[in-house]
């Protein structure tokens, strides 16, 4: 695949900045003293969760929370957010060939997993389709916080399955003590990746300035030999290139009782869309778009997206006797995503949204401390072109929430409630969520936790109004507002029905055991999630479809069908439906220091998902996993050998096939030069999938056509100044 990357002004500027920063950091070291730091992994149990106003650590929270930070974040960093978090217990990736992978939490993804940047929605269209990239960038992040299970109290119904919050320092709350910065360079062999990243934060009077940038380019990635969609034996995933760059600038003013800051970010990405074969494309009988397919298909389609993002953060400490702090967060996002075919934008998706969250942390009331707030969200999404399978939509939300916490001896009680008003076009919903949790500190090492949450979610516009070929998932999708009536063999009449969809209602329980000793760490969580009126796309038995459309004015979409006869061959039909389901499973994470130098770690996770009325399996549920790490740490270097086993997934839904088990063997060596210890400098060499094992990911729409990477060697350097 020949890269379609264009040298935009942003790309040229970003490349120049990160290159200059990386080359000049050693000179900066001679001009200032930087406190030394160790190269041990961050202890996630003592890191504060920024996504919650209660300032809890993961151990203090009744809801399961994991944090990826420090050296561990840098080691796991990948192009996509999903791949970065894919080794975290309870989290999988949609694995859309590594170009647009999103996180899956306990078998749930898409509109049920909220992706936020510094507590505000990411502002892209990744929740609607697996081929749409998440626009958060992990190479410049300080930490990533993952809420497993319903987190709707703060973030609304889009977080019924969990939240992933990416935290950076573009708007500083505190002074950094002079000038601080970071840089990194890296590359690999499987995709010929070249990556540079850099950032700097500096105090200036009463203000703190921040700037960061990254640039990343890679080609089609190598894989173990597999059979592609044309029936050929190949050893690379065609059309899986990536070209991405971005930059952020922010400034905050710090005063005696708080801070106020603003930031601006720009991101540009181009990436291939694998498995997007257009011999499956629909052909309307009116030939309105035939000219777009006459040219020879020399190169596969690719995505071209950009995003402008403005955020405003402010905090006011002790504004009155009743309140400890008032915090304001506002974000505006302007986003465009085009799918380019034969040099022409075949489909264009747009998103403009405003989001405002006002939170006030109050003093103790009847022994309960807490935070109450107001949340506003306004989103306008547009879609135009050959694959605009969902209509334009406007989503507006108003919500009020209240979180409470009370400590009594060894118990910490946690309560919360949220009421939301949601409008999707002309449809209105009122989701209500509440939670009750408790942690019990048996002693300094053992903590028991339990959390019960009731969460509700309104259906999205895509789930309500989808009607068209979605070639990224190789399906034809029909929303809740449509029905098919068989006319004859392979001939169907498409009806629009007056079905608004019901609010999903989830009742989830988490039980946890946590042990944190000097040499031994153990974390086990069991969950059970019972969801009424669960919305999902169910495969039908139809894969040879001729549609006869009703010719009428669509009041919801404000447009009229311009054809009444369309033909779709080879695309299985997915019809959104609502069923009562249950999901349950566990997450296990443990580590033990065998000696001063040797540490062994184990993890495992599992999720079972099925309907309650018939025991039918839900589609694309991740397989059970087992993993282990063996680490050796010395004064100036460390090495890790790890292995992850993916069980066979034979609990499949209609339209799926069994996915065989496989295992991945990985190794890494980090070297920390003592001469540059104050730089926190590390040079790393990483080897992934050493045995070149063929791994098919069951939860991927491209399971057969985009397996996991083959043997891959990466080398890079990271440092601070």
Domains and CATH numbers, the chain: 58-276+299-550+569-720 (2.40.170.20)
- Is the dihedral angle over the CA atoms 310, 113, 382, 270 positive or is it negative? positive
Distance from C-alpha of 545 to C-alpha of 483, rounded to nearest angstrom = 13
Strands 393-408 and 368-385: antiparallel
Profile the chain (721 residues) by mean pLDDT over runs of 10 residues. Answer: 51 56 45 38 60 82 92 90 95 93 94 94 90 92 94 88 93 94 95 96 97 96 91 92 96 96 97 68 39 43 95 95 94 94 88 96 91 96 83 92 93 95 90 95 93 92 84 82 77 75 93 94 96 91 62 43 49 88 97 96 97 94 97 95 97 93 97 82 95 96 93 95 89
Judged on CB neighbours under 10 Å (0-12, 13-18, 19+), 61 is: buried
User: What's CA 597's distance to the chain center, in Å?
Assistant: 34
What is residue 280's predicted lDDT score, i.e. its pLDDT? 44
Q: DSSP letter string over 200-248? A: EEEEETTEEEEEEEEEEEE-PPEEEEEE-TTS-EEEE-TT--EEEEEEE
Q: Which residues of 131-162 are buried (b: 16+ CB within 10 A; e: fewer)?
A: bbbbbbbbbbbebbbbbbbbbbbbbbbbbbbb
Given this model, what pLDDT does residue 666 score?
A: 97
DSSP string, 11-61: HHHHHHHHHHHHHHHHHHHHHS-------SPP-GGGS--TTSTT---GGG-
Among all chains, which residue has been given the structure tokens 């019990």? 440
Residues 250 and 660: their CA atoms lie apart, in Å, by 48
Interatomic CA distance for residues 481 and 11, integer angstroms? 43
Per the structure block, which two tokens stand in for 81?
């957010």
Whether the model pTM is above 0.85: yes
Supply the pLDDT for residue 366.
86
Query: Which residues on neighbouring strands pair with residue 639, listed in sequence order?
Result: 632, 669
């Amino acid at each position: 695949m020949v890269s379609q990357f264009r040298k935009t002004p942003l790309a040229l500027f970003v490349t120049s900045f990160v290159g200059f920063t990386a080359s000049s950091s050693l000179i900066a070291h001679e001009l200032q003293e930087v406190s030394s730091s160790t190269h041990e992994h961050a202890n996630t149990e003592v890191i504060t969760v920024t996504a919650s106003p209660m300032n809890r650590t993961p151990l203090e929270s009744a809801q399961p929370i994991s944090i990826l930070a420090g050296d561990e974040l840098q080691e796991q960093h990948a192009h996509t957010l999903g791949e970065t978090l894919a080794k975290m217990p309870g989290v999988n990736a949609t694995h859309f060939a590594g170009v647009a992978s999103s996180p899956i939490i306990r078998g749930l993804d898409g509109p049920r997993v909220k992706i936020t940047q510094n507590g505000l929605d990411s502002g892209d269209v990744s929740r609607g389709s697996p081929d749409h990239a998440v626009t958060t960038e992990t190479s410049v992040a300080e930490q990533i916080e993952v809420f497993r299970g319903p987190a709707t109290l703060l973030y609304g119904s889009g977080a019924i399955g969990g939240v992933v919050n990416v935290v950076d320092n573009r708007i500083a709350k505190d002074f950094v003590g002079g000038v601080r910065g970071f840089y990194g360079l890296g590359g690999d062999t499987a995709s010929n990746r070249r990556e540079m990243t850099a950032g700097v934060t500096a105090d200036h009077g009463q203000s703190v300035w921040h700037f960061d940038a990254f640039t990343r380019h890679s080609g089609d990635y190598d894989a173990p030999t597999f059979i592609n969609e044309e029936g050929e034996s190949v050893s690379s995933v065609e059309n899986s290139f990536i070209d991405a760059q971005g930059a952020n600038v922010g400034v905050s003013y710090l005063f005696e009782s708080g801070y106020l800051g603003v930031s601006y970010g720009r991101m540009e990405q181009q990436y291939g869309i694998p498995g997007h074969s257009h011999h499956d494309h629909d052909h309307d009988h009116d030939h309105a778009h035939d000219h777009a397919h006459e040219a020879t298909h020399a190169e596969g389609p690719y995505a071209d997206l950009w995003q402008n993002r403005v955020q405003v953060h402010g905090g006011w400490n002790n504004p009155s006797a009743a309140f400890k702090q008032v915090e304001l967060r506002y974000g505006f996002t302007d986003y465009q995503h085009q799918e380019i075919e034969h040099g022409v934008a075949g489909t264009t998706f747009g998103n403009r949204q405003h989001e405002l969250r006002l939170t006030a942390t109050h003093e103790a009331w009847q022994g309960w401390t807490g935070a109450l707030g107001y949340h506003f969200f306004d989103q306008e999404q547009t879609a135009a072109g050959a694959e605009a399978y969902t209509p334009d939509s406007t989503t507006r939300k108003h919500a009020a929430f209240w979180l409470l916490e009370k400590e009594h001896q060894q118990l910490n009680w946690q309560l919360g409630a949220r009421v939301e008003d949601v409008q999707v076009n002309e449809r209105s919903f009122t989701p209500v969520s509440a939670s009750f949790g408790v942690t019990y500190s048996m002693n300094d090492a053992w903590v028991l936790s339990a959390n019960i949450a009731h969460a509700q979610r309104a259906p999205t516009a895509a789930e309500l109004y989808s009607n068209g070929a979605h070639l990224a998932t190789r399906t034809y999708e029909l929303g809740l507002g449509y029905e098919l009536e068989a006319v004859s063999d392979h001939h169907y009449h498409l009806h629009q029905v007056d079905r608004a969809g019901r609010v999903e209602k989830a009742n989830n329980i988490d039980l946890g055991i946590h042990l944190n000793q000097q040499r031994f760490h153990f974390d086990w969580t069991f969950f059970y999630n019972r969801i009424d009126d669960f919305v999902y796309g169910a495969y039908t038995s139809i894969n040879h479809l001729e549609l006869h459309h009703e010719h009428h004015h669509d009041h919801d979409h404000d447009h009229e069908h311009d054809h009444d006869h369309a033909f779709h061959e080879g695309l299985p039909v997915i019809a959104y439906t609502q069923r009562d389901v249950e999901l349950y499973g566990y997450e296990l994470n443990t580590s033990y220091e065998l000696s001063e130098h040797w540490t062994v770690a184990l993890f495992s996770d599992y999720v079972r998902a099925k309907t309650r009325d018939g025991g039918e399996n839900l589609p694309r549920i991740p397989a059970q996993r087992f993993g282990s790490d063996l680490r050796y740490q010395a004064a100036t270097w460390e090495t890790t050998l790890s292995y992850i086993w993916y069980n066979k997934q034979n609990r499949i839904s209609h339209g799926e096939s069994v996915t065989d088990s496989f295992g991945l063997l990985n190794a890494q060596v980090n070297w920390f030069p003592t001469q540059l210890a104050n730089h926190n400098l590390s040079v790393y060499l990483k080897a992934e999938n050493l045995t070149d094992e063929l791994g098919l990911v069951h939860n991927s729409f491209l399971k057969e056509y985009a397996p996991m990477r083959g043997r891959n060697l990466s080398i890079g350097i990271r440092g601070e100044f």
